Amino acid sequence: MNDDSPRATTESQPRWRRTLSRLVDASAKERMVISVAALVLAVAVGFVIVVLAGLAATCATKATVLGVPTPLCYDPVAVYHELFLGAIGHPLSGNWTPLHFRMAVTLQNATLLVFTGLAVAVSFRAGMFNIGVQGQMVLGALAAALATIHLGGVAPSGVLGTLVLVPVGVLAGAVAGGLWGALPGALKAYADANEVITTIMLNFVAANFAYVVVSSWFTPPDSSLVQTANIPTAAYIPTVPFAFQPRDSFSLLGLLFAVALVVGVAYLLARTVFGYDLRASGEQPEAAAYGGVSEKQTMVASMTLSGALGGVGGAVLVMMVQGRWLANLPQLGFDGITVSILAGNNPLGVGFAALLFGVLKSGSAAIGFGTDVPPSLVDVLRGLVILFVAMPEFFRMIGASLGVGGDVDA
């Protein structure tokens, strides 16, 4: 065999590089098997941790596991039963309905995480690391709240008002988030500023800027919290008849919008010239520049699109869940980083990763209600699942960025 053959070259590589190369070149089916195996391993490790914690804890009544008395304070089977089935309302019990409140919470979390996960995925595919989705979401939420509140005074009421106010709110959120995202993109393109540093810093700037603006001019006089007034009723994303109730703070229309955005972004990246330029700049920047792709324009455009998606997430948070802008918004922007890594930065995978993340978040709350396990231990279990499932994709991304493997798109 020729020593210069690909096989000989591969065999001469260090073991860690061969392992990373195998991970990078794994097919979609193999990656799915790896993810399932990682999930099973995470559950097994978490099971052991619950058992050890149950032995160390002090309690008046010991747990009975599957009908067998034990010296444990916590029932690990009940913990995982709540973690996965509590999120959807225990479908194996009687009188179960898919329109259960817990299902609404799960889908609400998944819907919001789709937007922030997509935002991170778009920037990653362009070779940019947008850690600032949280700030873009904060400003998008504020823009949506202010736009709908002020336009609500002149907009018609009822369905006609909804047809006006909801698109206006979403557009306002997208514009605010997009402009805030374009800023680190321009700093990277024209001043060579590290986008990781700038986006992290802009998160703090956005949060404090929004806080000062709202507390100075937009907080109602009778409010003890820093918040805007409630948005008009017509600005809420409407619920579907015979589905979830308005009190559930979840709308199937919001979920359908998120799914449509997943498909749209996937099409944009896979089938359009802009998407090709964006992916080429992220995977082979030198080749993309040689082919005529403007590196600087692509940097700014990708970060603008990423920020706009984060801003839309903030707008949906206001118009579907909170009904106003509140200080200390949930950390959905940071969760979006995990969702994107979990999905391998694939827009279609973001939908499934967001659903898994939504199940874990809702299931964690169910454990708190249904068992005596302390919240800190619940966070450990949830973190284990995320860590084990995301880690193979994380190493795959590192390998691809190092040029390991023969096909980074696998």
Helical ranges in 25-132 per DSSP H: 28-56, 76-85, 101-125
Task: Give me the pLDDT at residue 410, please.
Answer: 40
Residues 15-36 have a mean pLDDT of 77
pLDDT of 406: 59
Residue 405's pLDDT band, with cuts at 50, 70 and 90, is low
pLDDT tens-digit readout, 359-374: 888 888 888 777 788 8
Taking only the tens place, the pLDDT of each residue in 64-104 is 888 888 888 988 888 888 888 888 877 777 777 777 888 89
* pLDDT computed for residue 5 by the predictor: 57
pLDDT tens-digit profile of 308-350?
999 999 999 999 999 999 998 898 999 999 899 888 888 998 9
Residue 357, pLDDT above cutoff 80: yes
**Per-residue pLDDT for 131 more than 80?**
yes
User: Which pLDDT does position 185 carry in this prediction?
Assistant: 95
Evaluate if residue 132 carries a pLDDT over 90.
yes
Annotate 244-310 with DSSP letters as a single string: S-GGGT--HHHHHHHHHHHHHHHHHHHHSHHHHHHHHHHH-HHHHHHTT--HHHHHHHHHHHHHHHH
- Cα 40 from Cα 307, distance rounded (Å): 35
pLDDT in tens, 191-237: 999 999 999 999 999 999 999 999 999 999 999 999 999 999 999 99
In terms of C-beta density within 10 A (0-12 exposed, 13-18 middle, 19 or more buried), how is residue 91 classed? exposed
Confidence check: pLDDT of 26 > 60: yes
For position 14, what pLDDT does the model report?
74
Which residues pair with residue 326 across a beta bridge? 227
Here the tokens at position 199 are 């986006």
Q: CA quadruple 376, 196, 386, 19: dihedral positive or negative?
A: negative
Q: Give dist(CA 126, CA 297) in Å, integer.
A: 11
Torsion over CA of 7, 9, 10 and 15, rounded to 10 degrees? 140
How many CB atoms lie under 10 A from the CB of residue 158? 9
Using alpha carbons only, give the angle 280, 283, 287 rounded to the nearest 5 degrees. 60
Say how far apart CA 287 and CA 41 lie, in whole Å: 40
**Judging by beta carbons within 10 Å of its beta carbon (0-12, 13-18, 19+), is residue 386 exposed, middle or buried?**
buried
**φ/ψ bin of 67: left (φ > 0), alpha (ψ from -120 to 50), beta (otherwise):** left
Which tens digit of pLDDT belongs to each residue from 272-318? 999 999 988 887 778 888 888 888 999 999 999 999 999 999 999 99
Residue 147 tokens, joined: 């736009």
